[in-house]
Structure 1
């Protein structure tokens, strides 16, 4: 028995070495997204919204406290940060992580927003939601409405803090692709960026009885040059999650990692995020493609008082992040012939931009002028004109 016990430290040592070897291999593979720990991930070009890399990026999954980027976004769009929030019993009862606000206390909305984003306090999230939306449920409806407006059709919000939840309509959940879309909207808001980048924030309740200092827990802000913003998340169902944005040179990138390990693998989300960001920085270059002031051939018109009608398009030159082997193509899609009557400004087709066969943008093609349909009056006028010209005896 004693001999067997002596093996235990050795086995632990071997397993530790093997684990460190695996981590080392993954670190060396940074920039190759195929080695991600996350079950779901995405890399997005923030300027165009184009997905540069995805791993199960349309799979519906819990999102934990990454939810709070939408909480702040909706708050900034519907409330004044100088408004006063009174804490309810429901808000004060939220589980960790908490600011430990108390029922009946009053706080400035801006201060609670710093608490929400810098230290991810769940009680502050509910206090904000009840103030802005009337109730948590009312605020969740506002979040869901905003999600649909952004094209996030696989996202469903139940709470403002991201705690695991389910109701008759489904689970509190999103996809990596949808969460990237939400972050793309967030980084256009300067107040959002200002709050989420603040190193620390000190404030008191409105009666001056209690004072707080919250520290920014987003380690990514110091990890990579050009880090813009981000939000961590963790629940038992979601695992470790992160959504972040970076700007370097002419590139702006957004990454999302969901279900990126469980305790004790807290650092995996940072490894995956850096791998995705480095992939975008190293493997992609910005290139201008498309056409500006494109000349289009007039379209023939059947049964029209004119044989042809001029057409125009708003197609323009655009900048995309491309890899060396990416292929850009463009197609003008219009009918061979139109049937009168034709209205001025009538939509008759589109110019479509493709990268590697996938649509990345499209522009309308419309008519410049109207073409009336041939009628009896027009025919008589034609006959009279021919007679006056001496072409009819």
Structure 2
């Protein structure tokens, strides 16, 4: 039988990498990158390091950037198997009645989950967002409860949702910092950028109601590397954008709230992206989904499952800096009992340098483990008994 340690601590030397001074690089920066926005933030995706911020915890109306959380819960449902890409979603009277940006769903009309997600990610469709909320949670109100619960799970303190769309309503708010963390979490699901990064597509193809989708985020077309995530506009919120871009090994997230125009909003985000890619470098350590050990499961159909990373693990540096002598701590949980769901936390990974934590990330179950039946448990116990008596 494999022996699984609950705590593994080893030193690794990575001579080809570089290391910065900590999680917040913004303190050193006097550069003003978002003069014309109410609030803004710039982070590196893998580490969450803050490269720039301005009023990043101010509670403001997020408009359609709300749909980042909506898409996050959709992607979680697909990942855990409670929803499939080709599953049909029926449009209710209520969903079809949504105003603002929409794909003009009719009551009773059905589209697949993938088609609905295209409508949300590319066209910012309010009707599709509500239809998906009803599909997953039964009602928009129940889905909003899920959104607020997820916000708490992510540790967000400046966010409260009242709907799935971002349409104006009292007590519906977020902050640049919280929006960046939501985007960071959404980007764990790498398939999402196939949709948020598409500039144009079609719905209802091969029908007389063919609908042209054009991405509301024009940087997808005009800034190399941008592949998401979500724009927002209302009269209250003004022009908002949570953008992400990837060049070489580095992915960054830039958030702007309250710019006076689309042109200014895009210029502010472009300035932040240019700054990130010119000043910093990301050095990958582990890929998303990489196994870092096995954990023992009691009373499960399987006795062991892999503990895997649930996001890319990297180290961030100023350009030209080098790293060595990183310390890697892998902690695997004990006393885990079936059932276990894919994505459940089963351990943690910490990367340190000179006693300072650079990266801390959960390790999660690679797959579902059902509770074993009594006959399987009996045979397993009987096998152990006969083995011990030899």
TM-score normalized by the length of structure 1 = 0.63
Q: Structure 1 pair 286/216, CA: closer, same or farther in 2 (3 Å)? A: closer
Per the alignment, residue 197 of structure 1 pairs with 197
- Asked whether the equivalents of residues 107 and 205 of structure 1 are also in contact (C-alpha less than 8 Å), the reply is no
Give the drift of 1:32: 4.1
Displacement of 1:152 in angstroms is: 1.7
The answer to whether the aligner puts 1:75 opposite 2:74 as a matched pair is yes
Any gaps of 5 or more consecutive residues in structure 1?
A: 1-30, 290-316, 332-349, 364-393
Distance 1:148 1:141 in 2: 11
Tell me whether 1:48 sits opposite 2:44 in the alignment. Answer: no
Q: 1:127 to 1:351 in 2, by over 3 A?
A: closer
Measured in 2, the distance between the counterparts of 1:319 and 1:87 equals 44
Cα drift, residue 233 of structure 1:
0.4
Report what 1:178 is aligned to. 178
How big is the shift at 1:191? 2.1
Task: Tell me if the contact between 1:32 and 1:276 (Cα under 8 Å) persists in the aligned partners.
Answer: no
CA contact (8 A) 1:242 1:256 kept: yes
Q: Spell out, residue by residue over 1:199-258, the C-alpha distance to the aligned partner (whole angstroms, 9 max, x if none).
A: 33333399x674323222321112222212221100111110000111112321110001
In structure 2, the partner of 1:23 is: none
Which residue of 117, 122, 138 corresponds with 1:118? 122
> Shift of the alpha carbon at 1:151?
2.1
Residues in 1 aligned to 2:86 and 2:93: alpha-carbon distance in whole angstroms: 22
Partner of residue 145, structure 1: 149
**Cα gap change, 1:89 to 1:256, in 2 (>3 Å):** same
The residue that corresponds to 2:163 in the other structure is 159
Counterpart selection for 1:136 from 116, 137, 140 = 140
Mapped to 2, the partners of 1:230 and 1:59 lie a distance apart of 21
Tell me the secondary structure at the aligned position of residue 267 of structure 1: helix
Q: Partners in 1 of 2:111 and 2:189 — Cα distance?
A: 23
Counterpart Cα distance in 2 of 1:354 and 1:246:
31
Give how far 1:272 is off: 0.5
Q: Does the CA contact (< 8 Å) of 2:225 and 2:245 recur in 1?
A: yes
Aligned-pair CA distance for 1:89:
1.6
For the residue of structure 1 that corresponds to 2:84, the secondary structure is coil
Could you tell me how far 1:323 is from its partner in structure 2?
A: 7.1
Q: Which residue of 2 aligns with 1:96?
A: 100
Rounded Cα–Cα distance in structure 1 between residues aligned with 2:184 and 2:34: 25
1:140, CA displacement in angstroms? 0.9
Q: Is the 8 A contact 1:354 1:361 kept in 2?
A: no
Partner of 2:268: 272
Q: Which structure has the greater CA radius of gyration?
A: 1
Q: Say which of 317, 324, 347 aligns to 1:321.
A: 317
Tell me if 1:226 matches 2:220. no
Alignment of 1:291-306 (within 5 A): none
**How far is the alpha carbon of 1:359 from its aligned partner?**
6.6
Cα distance in 1 for residues equivalent to 2:283 and 2:211: 48
Aligned pair in 2 of structure 1 residues 181, 209: CA closer, same or farther (>3 Å)? same
Question: Which protein has the bigger helix share?
Answer: 1
* Cα offset, 1:277, TM superposition: 0.8
2:252 aligned counterpart, secondary structure: strand
In structure 2, C-alpha distance between the alignment counterparts of 1:281 and 1:69, rounded to whole Å: 24
1:284 is matched with 280
Cα distance change of structure 1 residues 234 and 153 upon mapping to structure 2, 3 Å threshold: same
Unaligned runs of 5+ in 2: 1-29, 78-82, 286-312, 328-349, 362-390
CA–CA distance in 1 between the matches of 2:73 and 2:104? Answer: 23
> Does the aligned pair in 2 maintain the 1:41–1:256 contact within 8 Å?
yes
Counterpart CA distance in 2 for 1:111 and 1:240 is 26
The number of equivalent residue pairs is: 278
Provide the aligned C-alpha RMSD in A.
3.3
Between the aligned partners of 1:140 and 1:190, the Cα distance in structure 2 is 24
